[in-house]
Structure 1
C-alpha cells in the first residue's frame, strides 16, 4: 500500500538561515506537521504548489501528502478510502506528539471528517476544510458532466441511490433535496457521517453519535476555505432555497456531530473568496496567505 509523500523545507534555505539562528538574530519555532488529503481525480502532484507555499513561509515544516486513491482510484467507495487513509494518518500522528494540522481539499474534506470520526483518538490541532462539499453535493459540475453527459442533477439520484451507485465516491455524498427519503435510506456514507441515518440497532446509533460528536470537540480550530455554499454546511431545501448552517439540523439545531458547540467556543472560522475556480483553491496564493497560512503554526 502506498504511503504519504513527504515534502520538507528547502535545505538550501535552512543553510542560509543557520548562521542567523546560531547568532540568535532569528528564531524559528518548530511547526506542527501538515497532512494533506487530496480531492476527487487528484493526487500528490496537484499539491506541489501548496506544499511549496507552506515550506517557504514555515521553513522546516514536514508536509505529508497522502499518496492513496489517486486520480481514477478516487472514485472508489468512501468508507473503503477512509479505512486506508486512516492507517496512513495514524502512522503520521504517532510521530507528532505536539499535534498535526489536517488540510483537506474537496472530496478529501469528507474523507478527513470521516477518518476523525472513526479514530479512537487524534491530536489534530486545526482541520482546514478547503472547498469541500461538507453538506453534500447537488448540482451539475464539470466532472459529473464528463462522467454522465446524458444526465442532469434531477436524474442522477437514480444512479447514486442504487447499490451500484454507492460504489462511486461522489454518490456517497450526493444529497438530492427532492429525494430526501431515498437519500436517507440508500446513501451509506454522508447520512451516517452526519448522524442522521436511522439504524436498526439503536445502540449503534448512540455509539455513532457519541463518536462523531467528539470530532470537533477535540479540535482547536475548524477552518473553512470556501466559495460554494455546500462547503460550510449550508444546503438546499426542497424548493432549492439555501438554508444556512445554523438552520440545518445536522450542523445547527440538532448539532449531531459537535460543529455548533465548536462554533460557540469561537473556534470556527469561515474564509470566503469569490472568483476562484474549484480546482485552483489549493494553488491560489491569495487563498493561502489570507485563509491558510496563519493556522499552520
Structure 2
C-alpha cells in the first residue's frame, strides 16, 4: 500500500517505521529538525524490544510532493487539525481513506467539516509513544493497538486493507463492530488520566496510592461515561470498574501526555479532552463538575509557557 503519515509524531512515526519495514511505501509528512533528521539519517523507532531505523519512501513537508495515496494516518495535535486537513488534500485519491488517531472523540466530525465525508473514517490508538528527538520515536510499554473503521462501522475493502497492513507490520489492528464504543472507552479513561495527572502534577502510582486522588479519578471516569451514555454510546455497564482495574495495572510512574506537556511548557490539547467533556456534557444535559474543575485548573497553561 501507499500510506502517508500526517504528521509523523509519536503515532505516525511508529506506524511509519513498522509499515516501511513490512514493505509498504510510506510518505512521512514532517517539518523542521525532525524532517531534516528523517531525510538525512532515516526514521528510528526506539521500542522495548529493540531499535529499528528505516528510510521512508518519501519525507517531506509538502503533501503535494506525495500525490494520491491509499490511506492517510492522521495524527496531528488537536488544535492543528483543520489546517493539516486542508494541507493533506493533494494526497486524496478516489478511494483514499483518512484515519484519525487523535485524543478525544471529535476528530472525525471535525475532519468532515474540511474534507469530503466519503474519505473520512474513525479510529483510536492505544499506544504510548513520543518524539524523543529529531528523527527518533520512542515507545514505552509493549502495547500497540489500533482500532479503526468507517464512521458507521460498516465493513469496507479499504479498511480491511489497512488493517491487514498494520497487522502484518506487527501491531494489533482488530475489527470492531462499533467504533463509537471504542472511541468512548478510551476517552473515558483518558479524560481522567489526562486531567488528573496534569492538574495534580502526579503519576498513576500517586492516584492508586492516595484514596482522595483515586476518588477524584474515579469521579471523572463516571462523569465522562455518563456523557457517552447520554449521547447513545453503548458503553458496558461496568466500564467504570474496568477502567479502574486497568489503571491499577499500569506502571506506577505512568502519566498522560498532557502532564508531560505541562512539565515542558508545551501547548495543551485540553479543548479536546477536559474541555470537550465539559462542552459535550452541556450539550447532553450531563453535569460535569469534575471535568470543569480540571479544565479550569489547566486553562492558564493551554498555550504553553
In the superposition, the TM-score normalised over structure 1's length comes to 0.30
Is the strand fraction higher in 1 or 2?
A: 2
